[in-house]
Amino acid sequence: DRFLADRRPGAWTRLVDRVLADPRYGERWGRYWLDVAGYVDIIGADNDAGGIKLAPGVWRYRDYVVRSYNADKPFDEFLVEQVAGDELAEWRDADRLAPEQLEQLVATGFLRHARDSTSSPELNTADIRHQVLYETLQTVSTSLLGLTVHCAQCHSHKFDPISQADYYRLAAIFTPSLDVQNWIQADQRHLYTVSPSHKIRIDKHNGRIDARVGELKKRAAAVRANVSKRLKAVKLAALPEPVRADTDAAVEVPKDKRNPVQAYLALKLGPLLVVSPDEVNRNLAAAERMTVTTAESEIARLNSTRQSYETIRVAWETGPPAPTYLYRRGDYTTPGPEVKPGVPLILDPPGRPTVIPSSGPGQKPASSGRRLAFARWLTRADHPVTARVIVNRMWMRYFGTGLVSTPANFGLSGTEPTHPKLLDWLARELVDNGWSLKRVHRQVLLSSTYRQSTSRSAAEWNRAKTIDPANHLLWHRPLKRLESEAVRDSVLAVSGQVDLLQGGPAVPIKANSDSSVVIDSSKLARPGDVNRRSLYLTCRRNYHPTELSVFDQPTVANNCTRRDSSAVVLQSLVMLNGSFAMNRARLFAARVRSETPGGDQAARIDRAFRLSLSRPPSEEEQGLAIELLRRQAVELSGAKNTNGSTDRPLEHLCHMLLNTSEFLYVP
């Protein structure tokens, strides 16, 4: 409405600027990067629907990505931090971590998303350790280089000029932080939000508090024990004298060691000797009460002075780099010659090989500097692929298909760019403008290509489809279905229930016995978390909330560089019959009623259309909607109301709007 009401020149430009400045921009576009990074909130392969093992602190990487996108952090800096943030930050010897140092460490969570089951002793084997390294390498190569190098693990690439030696040179860059000889198990692969020396000081400080609190608790417990003993003696004295001593002895004997007489006495008379905490509190003498109250007050004061830190998933080097060997046929048990760290030769200018340090102090103490050198090479202004891979992926998000339709494979087995000069120009624009993604977004969104309609006249359509059926020439704007998260978030938004709180630990989910996956309401940190945006739901590899999985939420075997977009019956069934959609339709109707207090049918229909489809109904749609409400009112007048709703016809109309193609697709 704000855009349509803006009649001044430049209204579209102002809308684009508002969207790019909105905090939700980082959540939306950050989710795309999390796909590419293979982000998950869990540890392991995720083969058990009912078993979720969360990776401690991993959510901080997700929040780092969102912040970086919102701040329009230069993308070269964004990449360097993720590949080698630990080699940028002098964290080992820091007295305290500065915010930028913590940010750089958190960024390296990018290298910690591979399937790693080595937390289980029986799976902490050499072959699985190597596989974690290889999957990390695959994520790096597909996300940053646009190359699928995994073939070269066993032999030189059959299509691209990437040799087996290239593969292991690339692997050598990452082996110091994923050292199969000096392995850190998956559930231990974290540091803390404070520096090592600061952590020691905090632990000592809290240790002193623990010792003092322990003393105070013992003091208060001793007072309570004395009072309890007195009260028990009074109760014992009230028992008949012949059974008094035997009963007292019986209740002191462990249950499984009592003889029959003791068991009988403990069962019948034992409850009469029980002294409850309330009884103790009521019978404290003045001096005793003062002792207990003083101790409890001091405990509360001491606990308020505790210091804390939390975990972060970090990549860091655990010691001097071990040698890297070329494995014959990819088998680690048959090592060939030693290789030094390096990059694929095909990506270096002739005669100017990139130097990656083999060992030594590197940029910071206790680090080889290999990953930092690789990251600097990756973000050179003249790098042949990095910027092209990034802008191609952006184009794909807008138009459904990239200028290179295989975003993870710019090699010979991938597709050639449909518009190579446009790809080169966008990449150059990205680099020349400080690697600003928002600058590229703005250029695309303001272009006439993006602002085309998805529809054409029948004559234009038939002619164009004959010449260019795949729309390579971009003669129309492609119709795109919303991604799974956007479908759920849109339903929450129109119902007025979406919780826009940003950041924090993942919202828990659970698998039901019927194979559905839902939010686990019993473990929510706050009631509103049930309506958090989908980005913040626990992200698993194989088991996603049902309303997301049916709309092609990807399984994360490694990473996802391009999502599928299907149209299957199950999507309609979930939107028509699923409890999530039905409940939100009722809330949608309640919102419409509250925002049209006059009760006018036409006004309510108009409001429902505007909220869900961002437009008013046509005259024909208005008439059909009024007729629907009239018929529903007649049909439901005698029906049993099982959900407590007050306006079921309006709820059915709202539910219908959520099931329209116009709601699910971006025109």
Q: State pLDDT tens for residues 191-227.
A: 999 999 999 999 999 999 999 999 999 999 999 999 9
Give the Cα separation of 135 and 21 in Å (integer).
35
Domain locations in the chain as residue ranges: 74-192+316-380, 196-309, 579-666
Give the Cα separation of 478 and 275 in Å (integer).
76
> Average pLDDT for residues 145-174, to the nearest whole number?
89
Burial class for 187, CB neighbours closer than 10 Å (0-12, 13-18, 19+): middle
Phi, psi (rounded to 5 degrees) for 605 = -65, -45
Residue 544: both structure tokens together: 């996603």
348: pLDDT strictly greater than 80: yes
Mean pLDDT of the chain: 93
Give the Cα separation of 388 and 253 in Å (integer).
78
Give the Cα separation of 118 and 112 in Å (integer).
13
Q: What is the pLDDT of residue 7?
A: 86
351: pLDDT strictly greater than 80: no
Residue 587: both structure tokens together: 């809330």
- What confidence tier does 358 reach under pLDDT thresholds 50, 70, 90? confident
Question: Between 350 and 117, where is the model more confident?
Answer: 117
Q: State pLDDT tens for residues 622-653.
A: 999 999 999 998 888 866 665 555 589 999 99
Q: State pLDDT tens for residues 526-553.
A: 999 999 999 999 999 999 999 999 999 9
362: pLDDT strictly greater than 50: no
Quick one: the chain helix, strand, coil %, rounded to 5? Answer: 55, 5, 40
- What confidence tier does 471 reach under pLDDT thresholds 50, 70, 90? confident
Burial class for 522, CB neighbours closer than 10 Å (0-12, 13-18, 19+): exposed
Give the Cα separation of 487 and 581 in Å (integer).
10
Q: Is the dihedral of CA 151, 154, 155, 156 positive or negative?
A: positive
Q: Is the dihedral of CA 358, 361, 367, 369 positive or negative?
A: negative
436: pLDDT strictly greater than 50: yes
Give the Cα separation of 653 and 659 in Å (integer).
10
Q: What is the pLDDT of residue 361?
A: 47
Say if residues 44 and 53 touch (Cβ distance below 8 Å): yes
Q: What is the pLDDT of residue 640?
A: 62
Give the Cα separation of 522 and 578 in Å (integer).
20
**Range of lowest pLDDT (241-250, 435-444, 609-618, 652-661):** 241-250
Give the Cα separation of 399 and 475 in Å (integer).
12
**Range of lowest pLDDT (85-89, 372-376, 409-413):** 409-413
pTM of the model: 0.91
Q: What is the pLDDT of residue 363?
A: 41
83: pLDDT strictly greater than 50: yes
Percent of the chain with pLDDT over 70: 97
Say if residues 170 and 344 touch (Cβ distance below 8 Å): yes
- What confidence tier does 477 reach under pLDDT thresholds 50, 70, 90? confident
**Strand, coil or helix: what is 139?**
helix
> Average pLDDT for residues 40-65, to the nearest whole number?
94
Residue 238: both structure tokens together: 């009230």
> Average pLDDT for residues 262-278, to the nearest whole number?
91
Question: Between 395 and 456, where is the model more confident?
Answer: 395
Residue 131: both structure tokens together: 């596989």
364: pLDDT strictly greater than 50: no
Percent of the chain with pLDDT over 90: 81
Q: Please give the full DSSP string across 60-95, using - where no structure is assigned.
A: HHHHHHHHHHHTT--HHHHHHHHHHHHHHS--SS-S
Q: What is the pLDDT of residue 90?
A: 87
**Range of lowest pLDDT (14-18, 46-50, 155-159, 273-277):** 155-159
Q: Please give the full DSSP string across 141-183, using - where no structure is assigned.
A: IIIII----GGGGTSS-SSSS--HHHHHHHHHHHTTTS-TTS-
Q: State pLDDT tens for residues 596-613.
A: 988 789 999 999 999 999
Residue 520: both structure tokens together: 């686990």
Q: What is the pLDDT of residue 645?
A: 58
Q: What is the pLDDT of residue 349?
A: 82
Say if residues 53 and 129 touch (Cβ distance below 8 Å): no
Say if residues 336 and 320 touch (Cβ distance below 8 Å): no
The single residue listed with the structure tokens 């340090």 is 357
Residue 571: both structure tokens together: 């999507």
